[in-house]
Amino acid sequence: MPEQNGQSLPSYLNPLEPGPWGSYLQQVDRVAPYLGKLSKWISTLKQPRRTLIVDVPVELDNGTIEHFEGYRVQHSVARGPAKGGIRFHQDVTLSEVMALSAWMSVKTAVVNVPFGGGKGGIRINPKNYSASEIERLTRRYTSEIGCIIGPNTDIPAPDVNTNAQTMAWIMDTYSANTGFTSPGVVTGKPISIGGSLGRVEATGRGLFVVTIAALKDAGINIEGARVAVQGFGNVGGTAANLLAEAGAKVVAVYDHTGVIHHENGINTSKLISHVAQTGGVAGFEGVNSISPDEFWSLPLEVLIPAALEGQINESNANNIKAKMVVEGANGPTTPKADDILHNNGVIVVPDVLANAGGVTVSYFEWVQNNSSFYWTEKEINDRLQPIMHDAYLATAATAKEHNVSLRTAAFISGCSRILEAREIRGLFP
């Protein structure tokens, strides 16, 4: 077992173990040489600040009792309360939740919103349970993690298989336990209980702002730029539609129902209505069907993976002919594929920058809850735009200064901000 300061590391902190936390530790090691005197504090990035594992017993509709394992990890609170989603999935592990919480610390720092990083999850396949069972699960989990979450300490949000309704149950349970209504304990809530206008589209809108800035930087005109997007939900659908409105040609869309293509461009606003009515892109009129392999090989200016993790991997990375990949999903590019794209001269705008519009508007939601004063959708969008644009410019400048990829540059600026806060606060006692 590897050692740190002469002490054996617990297995879940072992960088030689495969898994998301191991990948995160490797990313941190990669930025260490660029942190200057702040590297003295780097070990504080390699330990989550607080890790809570809870048992969540639930009485099922048939009267039996089942136990689920739940987690809440606060990776860093050096820059502000922990912030990050809650995931219900059968593959949730402590390693995954730790890594996702650490990536949230980096993401909030890259866009410089005053939050740290957190994440939570329950190991469950929610599709096998009724809505009332999921409500009981959510409420019991909230009670169990209630000792560490709160509007000033740790603020959950939706993630895979959780949504605005889940946030409403968390907010209600937390409020019932504390004795007063506390909208700021979660973000991504329904508008009627303090959610923010513009939150649903925020990640796609932020992705759009960053894509425009990256195209300009690369000397590529948005007018007529060929764009393909995998995932046509909140993130991919919004980003594709905004890019089309700005003059781009969305030539292909790939979702769980199929892959559609038209070399003159697909009408994205009609496609949004079609997906809302039918559940997917399949059956959209006036386009051709292509295979996933053909999708990944299209000649493009911009490729946007906005569906799932690991979609760009060793099997397709060498075929990618896009000039630029802008990551809407979290972790859509495997580390090996990332190296292949880099060697092939493909610009990759990383997830911790490109999809940070969501957490930025979550920050706006929290600010509105704290002040009980609500903004218009225009105010939200007008405040989001400069934050995303400036974050891109700062990351691109760091990449040029150190001659590194945008991903490494984003990690340099994110980790530097976290460690600056750590250093100036000092260690207690």
Token pair belonging to 262: 């038209």
Cα angle 328, 330, 335 (rounded to 5 degrees) comes to 110
In the complex, the smallest distance separating the C-beta of residue 299 from ligand NAD, rounded to whole angstroms, is 21
State which residue, 306 or 415, has the beta carbon closest to ligand NAD.
306
**Cβ atoms of residues 173 and 144 within 8 Å:** no
State which residue, 294 or 423, has the beta carbon closest to ligand NAD.
294
Separation CA 2–CA 10 (nearest Å): 9
State which residue, 40 or 256, has the beta carbon closest to ligand NAD.
256
In the complex, the smallest distance separating the C-beta of residue 351 from ligand NAD, rounded to whole angstroms, is 7
In the complex, the smallest distance separating the C-beta of residue 61 from ligand NAD, rounded to whole angstroms, is 26
Separation CA 29–CA 318 (nearest Å): 26
Query: Which one of the listed residues 83, 119, 189, 249 is annotated catalytic?
Result: 119
Token pair belonging to 366: 């929290």
In the complex, the smallest distance separating the C-beta of residue 203 from ligand NAD, rounded to whole angstroms, is 4
Phi/psi of residue 92, nearest 5 degrees: -60, 130
State which residue, 35 or 237, has the beta carbon closest to ligand NAD.
237
Distances (CA, A) of 212 to 225, 354, 427: 11, 11, 41
In the complex, the smallest distance separating the C-beta of residue 140 from ligand NAD, rounded to whole angstroms, is 25
In the complex, the smallest distance separating the C-beta of residue 428 from ligand NAD, rounded to whole angstroms, is 33
Give how far the C-alpha of residue 225 lies from the chain's centroid of Cα atoms, to the nearest Å: 26
In the complex, the smallest distance separating the C-beta of residue 129 from ligand NAD, rounded to whole angstroms, is 19
Q: At what angle do helices 94-110 and 406-425 cross, to 10 degrees?
A: 90
Distances (CA, A) of 242 to 233, 338, 364: 13, 26, 21
Separation CA 313–CA 332 (nearest Å): 8
Token pair belonging to 23: 């990948």
Separation CA 180–CA 357 (nearest Å): 30
> Where does this chain bind ligand NAD (CB under 6 A)?
203, 230-236, 254-256, 280, 306-308, 328-330, 355, 358
Question: Residue with the closest Cβ to ligand NAD?
Answer: 233
Which of 98, 86, 120 lies closest to 23 in space, CA to CA? 98
Query: Annotated catalytic, 378?
Result: no
State which residue, 13 or 311, has the beta carbon closest to ligand NAD.
311
State which residue, 224 or 279, has the beta carbon closest to ligand NAD.
279
* Number of CB atoms found within 10 A of residue 19's CB: 16
Separation CA 325–CA 322 (nearest Å): 7
How long is the chain? 429
Q: Which amino acid is at 122?
A: I
Tell me if residue 306 falls in helix, strand or coil.
Answer: coil
State which residue, 58 or 167, has the beta carbon closest to ligand NAD.
167
**Cβ atoms of residues 384 and 205 within 8 Å:** yes
**Catalytic residue positions?**
119
